[in-house]
Structure formats: C-alpha cells, structure tokens
Amino acid sequence: MLKFTIHETDKKSKARAGTMVTDHGEIQTPIFMPVGTQGTVKGIHNRELDDPIKAQIILGNTYHLYLRPGIDLIQKAGGLHKFTGYEKPMLTDSGGYQVYSLKGMRKIKEEGVKFRSHIDGSKHNFTPEYVMDIQRIIGADIMMAFDECTPYPCDYKYAKRSMHMTHRWLERCIERFDSTDPHYGYHQVFSPIVQGSTYPDLRKKSAEYIAGTDREMNAIGGLSVGEPHEDMYNMTDVVTDILPKEKPRYLMGVGLPENILESIARGIDMFDCVLPSRNARHGIIYTSKGMMNMKNAKWKEDLSVIDADSPSPSSRVHTKAYLRHLYHVKELLGAQIGTLQNLSFFLWLVNTAREKILEGTFTEWKEKTLIDITRRL
C-alpha cells in the first residue's frame, strides 16, 4: 500500500509537505519528477539523477516503451527498473498524452484508441485494459489511468463528452487493475486523472468522480496545453478543493518554475515536465537568479561561472562562455551540463518549497522567489 503522510500545511495557502512511501523508496513532497520517456532521462546517466539532481522518482512512457524496446523484452528483463538499472520509484504515463500529441495519427473511439506508430506507421490498438496490462509488465511504482487529454482550446460540448469517456475508461482501467497482480512482487499504485478542460463545472464534476473512485493518489490532466496560466491555476484550485487532502495530488505536465510554485500553493504534491530537460538541450538554462538563453551572443565572452549557487558542480566550475561554445558547436556535453543544471534547479526549487512549508514561511518565500526565477538574464 502507498503510505502518504502530511507533515505540515501552509497557513496562507493550500501548500503541504509530505512523504510518500513506495516499495522502491520514499518521496518527499512536493516533488518534481524528471521525464525519462524511453527508459532514460535524455542526456544524463542514472547516477546523476541521484547526484547532483537528487531525483526521487522519474517517469517512463507506456506508448514509447511499448513500441521500443517492446514489452516482451522489458518483461524478460524483469521490468523497467531492472532493465534500466534505476532502482528508485518510477511512474509510467499511460499514453494518454500521446492521444493528444499524436493527433492525426490516431482515432479515438469508445473502445479505445487506434494509433499509427510515429516510427514506422504500423497500427496499434490501445484499450484501457491493455494499457493496464502493459503498465503491469513495465512495472512502474505508479501506473496512470488511460485518459484523453483534450487540447486547448476545446469547446464545451467536446470537453464534456471527452470527460465522460475518460471516466468510463477509468472504470475499465480500475476493473483490470484490481483483477490483476503486479508481476515483480512489489506494489503498484494506480492513479486516476481529472479532466474537464478549462470549464470549472466540468473540472468540479470530474474531481468528484475521481475522488469517488477512492484510489491511493489522484492526478490532474489536460492542463498546460496552451491555456492562459490563470486558467491553469483556477482549474487546479477548483480541483484541489475537492480531491481528498490525505492523498497525493499530481499535476501532470507542469511546468514552468513559476507554474510549479503557484500550483504547490494550490495544494499540488507532484509534478513532471519535459521543460527542464528539453529546454536544456535547446540552450535554455534555469537558475535561482533567472533564466538564460545560452546560445545568445551576449554570453560569448562571459567567463563567469554558469551558476555559482547551483547544486550541479559542472555549473559551478564551467563558464557561460564555455557552455555557449558547447551549444554552438553542438557538443553533447552542452546538453549534459544544461540538463544537470535545469533538473537540479527544479529539484532544488521543490525541495526548498518543502523546507519553507515545514518552516511556515512558504508564501513569503514564494512571492520573493517568483521575482527571481522569472527574470530573463
């Protein structure tokens, strides 16, 4: 069973600091989960997830791992932990996000989703039941429901219909999940996902429905797909007022550093986002003093270190001019140093938020920190 303990709740916001205990280890919340879609967080090694990043849990993706290397091999290897050598907690996304991002290469029906592989165009059929089976084989500590992530903007009629279908799919996910056992001897948590686009009444309805399924944790999906930040925050607010306080809440796909702080304030415990890792490969560096586009000419001769306060040693040693050079000549080390910097910053951000919640100074710290981290250097 998943144990979740809340140690402290902020007086001026809904922020909380807690601990989740999985069979692969503890997770101190609020937490940011680096995304490792294909069995690796792009650009870095597992041991760097421990040090300097201090990751406590990472993501994998059902759709991608199913296509390559395929579930037979993962099963043969003894699950994704064994296959990758990463023995800390893992969460798998269900492929619901690919229903959204691979639009044009899939067909959504009540029964499930027919995909065309983005690799070779081959046809595949994902049903809620099959996605549960695949995630059992992958063996992540947390399995996500198969949902439809609606795009933005999304008209009310479609959002409502999609939400109801996601709820029906959820029933099927639960039935299959509850009637099957883990393959590898450790517990797997199942998380349902709230949908409802940017409509408060739909979000409320969905949150009530999801809360009613009484699972070990809950997630909010369908946000950070291009809607204004105010909508994202409002929807999160509506939903966290309904989802049970005693269970972890996961806001899927979020986000920018400021999104994370604002969402912690609204009662979110878990985040994931490709932004720090992807942007690192594209030359965007996040620090506690602001963000930099390292490719810009302004850094060409800047021989000061990347970030003197960084948790990542390479950022304290190497200069901005050197990192810019690495990006310019497309050396892989640039992406590596950048990924280490961004992910260790994101983990620093949530860990510090946690400390401040425990100290009772979260809201003041958040307001001050927002000014720093949104600065463009």
Partner RNA sequence: GGGGGUGCGCCACAGUGGGAGAGGUGGGCAGGACUGUAAAUCCUGUGCUUAGGCUGAGUAGGUUCGAAUCCUACCACCCCCA
- Supply the residues annotated as catalytic: 93, 272
Residue 268 Cα distances to 51, 217, 344, 349, 373, angstroms: 25, 11, 20, 14, 19
Nearer to RNA, 100 or 362 (CB): 100
| Cα 275 from Cα 292, distance rounded (Å) | 14
Query: Taking the complex as a whole, how short is the minimal distance between the CB of residue 74 and RNA, in angstroms?
Result: 16
| Cα 232 from Cα 227, distance rounded (Å) | 7
Burial 51-83 (b: 16+ CB within 10 A, else e): ebbbbbbbbbbbbbbbbeeebeebbeeebbbeb
Query: Taking the complex as a whole, how short is the minimal distance between the CB of residue 144 and RNA, in angstroms?
Result: 5
Angle between helices 362-373 and 332-359 (to 10 degrees): 160
Residue 282 Cα distances to 301, 310, 318, angstroms: 20, 19, 18
| Cα 260 from Cα 59, distance rounded (Å) | 17
Query: Taking the complex as a whole, how short is the minimal distance between the CB of residue 8 and RNA, in angstroms?
Result: 26
Query: Taking the complex as a whole, how short is the minimal distance between the CB of residue 337 and RNA, in angstroms?
Result: 13
How far, in whole angstroms, is CA 22 from its chain's centroid? 17
Contact predicate 216/189, CB 8 Å: yes
Query: Taking the complex as a whole, how short is the minimal distance between the CB of residue 11 and RNA, in angstroms?
Result: 27
Nearer to RNA, 8 or 216 (CB): 216
Nearer to RNA, 100 or 345 (CB): 100
Residue 330 Cα distances to 64, 264, 323, 341, angstroms: 26, 36, 10, 17
Nearer to RNA, 6 or 274 (CB): 274
Nearer to RNA, 119 or 185 (CB): 119
Binding site residues, RNA, CB under 7 A: 35, 37-38, 41-42, 59, 61, 64, 93-94, 96-98, 100-102, 104-105, 118, 144-145, 147, 149, 193, 219, 221-222, 224-226, 229, 252-256, 259, 272-275, 277-279, 281-284, 293, 295-298, 300, 328, 330, 332, 335
Nearer to RNA, 185 or 297 (CB): 297
Query: Taking the complex as a whole, how short is the minimal distance between the CB of residue 63 and RNA, in angstroms?
Result: 7
Nearer to RNA, 58 or 137 (CB): 58
Query: Taking the complex as a whole, how short is the minimal distance between the CB of residue 372 and RNA, in angstroms?
Result: 18
What is the token pair recorded at 247?
A: 């269970």
Alpha carbon dihedral 46, 271, 258, 100, in 10-degree steps, equals 100
Q: Which of 32, 24, 31 is nearest to 184 (CA)?
A: 24
